[in-house]
């Protein structure tokens, strides 16, 4: 992943995790993600290391400016000369002329950049354009290099085209048919999951296990090599037995997707009332395509008067118990349900910090309440971490409480 802005921390790398997940999905084994700045010597060294792999995915540095050096240095690392691709030059010129006209500038201002972007290593395949940046596939006979634009939206537009090329297909055909088992837990400590894994025999002998913790979710992935299927199945079975009460998913769906699917299956709509999370629960839900058939909306009620006027929380409740209380959370859940005409209302209030905590209500105290047609669920918890972590964990806690209510009512009926 190239770009000095990534190395300096000015922008987070979104491409590396996406491409690594895609590689795993396709049966490949990602070895490393390298983030490298725009200095030529650093880029060339990174590309030479990348060429040691079967498949090297490179992003960024495909623009028309002097510091866009990716193609030039990939060619140097691969020992290939650079040549102008005439058809690609015409394609980029057409787009650039359109940009020039739109900006009211002469095309000559773009011409040198156009030729630069149309210059490729000998033998490279163009994937077409995203903007004016071409995606490129180069088979070096030892490694297949895929070069994609840095902007995530442009990268994701060209990535499917890379998978259709013969060089990439040949790499994928050589990938061993690994089986992958995913187990998603909510609530247990990471050490408890590691202990259960150790008691089950641990990984190795053809089964690689990774454990990743995020917002009290523990994601366990088992990658099973050919011939180790029986051991992989036994390991997964034992972990299900020992941690079954925490298991919430065995697929790649996020908790937001699971909640929406549960609502959809029961024909229920959902609304959120949020204080300390400031709309983060709603953002998780609306980040899922198609959420509109379930999600009604959200009321972010930060101030007490907004809780009263918009959600109907009584002055008596606020005065007696305070904004951060189980009573207020319950009133908020019922209020948003009524105000937005939703079947389910979930509310969250708490002390996110770093200030505002007391001995009775410390920083990290979060109250969540879900109210629906078949009952209610409430949770009081004290979450560790800084403000960002507390808000993220409170968001996850809210969604998991909705899941718990829906699953328990579905089981009971």
pLDDT of residue 411: 53
- Domain finish residue from 249, 265, 295: 249
| 190 and 135 assigned to the same domain | no
Residue 410 has pLDDT above 90, yes or no: no
> Any idea what the CATH number is for the domain that residue 245 is in?
3.30.70.2860
> Any idea what the CATH number is for the domain that residue 376 is in?
3.90.950.20
Residue 17 has pLDDT above 50, yes or no: yes
Q: Domain of 198?
A: 180-249
Q: What is the pTM of this model?
A: 0.82
Residue 179 has pLDDT above 80, yes or no: yes
Chain segment 85-119, per-residue pLDDT in tens: 999 999 999 999 998 898 999 988 888 899 999 99
Which residues does 409 contact at the CB level (< 8 Å), separation at least 6?
372, 374, 375
Chain segment 316-348, per-residue pLDDT in tens: 999 999 999 999 999 999 999 999 999 999 999
| 196 and 292 assigned to the same domain | no
The CA-based dihedral angle spanning residues 49, 55, 57, 63, taken in that order and rounded to the nearest 10 degrees: 90
Q: Is the dihedral of CA 357, 359, 360, 366 positive or negative?
A: positive
| 170 and 208 assigned to the same domain | no
pLDDT of residue 246: 96
> Any idea what the CATH number is for the domain that residue 83 is in?
3.40.980.10
pLDDT of residue 80: 97
Residue 26 has pLDDT above 70, yes or no: yes
Q: Which of 23-27, 184-188, 249-253 has the lowest mean pLDDT?
A: 23-27
| 40 and 153 assigned to the same domain | yes
- Domain finish residue from 140, 174, 208: 174
> How many other C-beta atoms lie within 10 A of the C-beta of residue 383?
22
| 126 and 199 assigned to the same domain | no
Helix (H, G, I), strand (E, B) or coil at 10: coil
Chain segment 280-297, per-residue pLDDT in tens: 999 999 999 999 999 999
pLDDT of residue 67: 84
Closest Cα to residue 54, out of 150, 142, 169, 131? 142
| 112 and 233 assigned to the same domain | no
pLDDT of residue 143: 97
| 204 and 304 assigned to the same domain | no
The CA-based dihedral angle spanning residues 299, 305, 308, 309, taken in that order and rounded to the nearest 10 degrees: -70
| 46 and 132 assigned to the same domain | yes
| 226 and 336 assigned to the same domain | no
- Domain finish residue from 131, 148, 174: 174
pLDDT of residue 178: 85
Q: In whole numbers, what is the pLDDT of the chain averaged over residues?
A: 94
Residue 49 has pLDDT above 80, yes or no: yes
- Count of structural domains within the chain: 3
Chain segment 380-391, per-residue pLDDT in tens: 999 999 999 999
CA distance 155 to 161: 10
| 237 and 330 assigned to the same domain | no
| 399 and 300 assigned to the same domain | yes
| 337 and 397 assigned to the same domain | yes
């Amino acid at each position: 992943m190239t770009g000095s802005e990534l190395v300096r921390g000015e922008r987070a790398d979104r491409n590396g995790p996406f491409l690594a997940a895609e590689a795993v999905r396709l049966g490949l084994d990602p070895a490393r993600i390298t983030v490298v700045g725009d200095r030529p010597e650093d880029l060339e060294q990174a590309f030479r290391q990348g060429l040691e792999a079967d498949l090297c995915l490179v992003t960024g540095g495909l623009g028309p400016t002097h510091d866009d050096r990716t193609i030039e240095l990939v060619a140097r690392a691969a020992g290939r000369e650079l040549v102008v691709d005439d058809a690609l030059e015409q394609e980029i010129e057409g787009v650039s002329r359109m940009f020039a006209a739109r900006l009211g500038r002469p095309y000559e201002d773009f011409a040198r950049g156009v030729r630069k972007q149309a210059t490729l290593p000998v033998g490279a395949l163009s994937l077409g354009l995203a903007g004016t940046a071409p995606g490129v596939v180069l088979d070096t006979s030892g490694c297949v290099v895929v070069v994609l634009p840095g902007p995530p939206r442009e990268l994701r537009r060209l990535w499917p085209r890379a998978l259709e090329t013969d060089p990439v297909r040949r790499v994928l055909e050589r990938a061993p048919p690994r089986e992958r088992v995913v187990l998603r837990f909510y609530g247990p400590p990471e050490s408890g999951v590691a202990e259960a894994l150790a008691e089950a025999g641990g990984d190795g002998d053809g089964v690689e296990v990774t454990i990743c913790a995020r917002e009290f979710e523990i994601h366990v992935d088992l990658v099973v090599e050919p011939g180790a299927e029986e051991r992989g199945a036994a390991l997964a079975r034992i972990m299900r037995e020992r941690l079954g009460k925490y298991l919430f998913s065995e697929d790649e769906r996020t908790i937001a997707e699971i909640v929406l699917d549960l609502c959809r299956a029961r024909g229920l709509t959902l609304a959120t009332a949020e204080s300390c999370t400031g709309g983060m629960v709603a953002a998780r839900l609306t980040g899922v395509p198609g959420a509109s058939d379930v999600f009604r909306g959200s009321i972010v009620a930060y101030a007490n008067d907004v809780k009263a006027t918009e959600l109907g929380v009584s002055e008596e409740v606020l005065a007696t118990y305070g904004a951060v209380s189980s009573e207020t959370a319950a009133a908020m859940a019922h209020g948003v349900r009524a105000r937005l005409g939703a079947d389910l209302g979930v509310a969250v209030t708490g002390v996110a910090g770093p200030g505002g905590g007391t001995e009775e209500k410390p920083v990290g105290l979060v109250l969540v309440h879900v109210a629906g047609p078949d009952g209610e669920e409430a949770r009081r918890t004290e979450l560790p971490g800084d403000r960002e972590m507390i808000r993220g964990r409170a968001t996850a806690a809210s969604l998991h409480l909705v899941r718990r209510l829906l699953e328990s009512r579905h089981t009971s009926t």
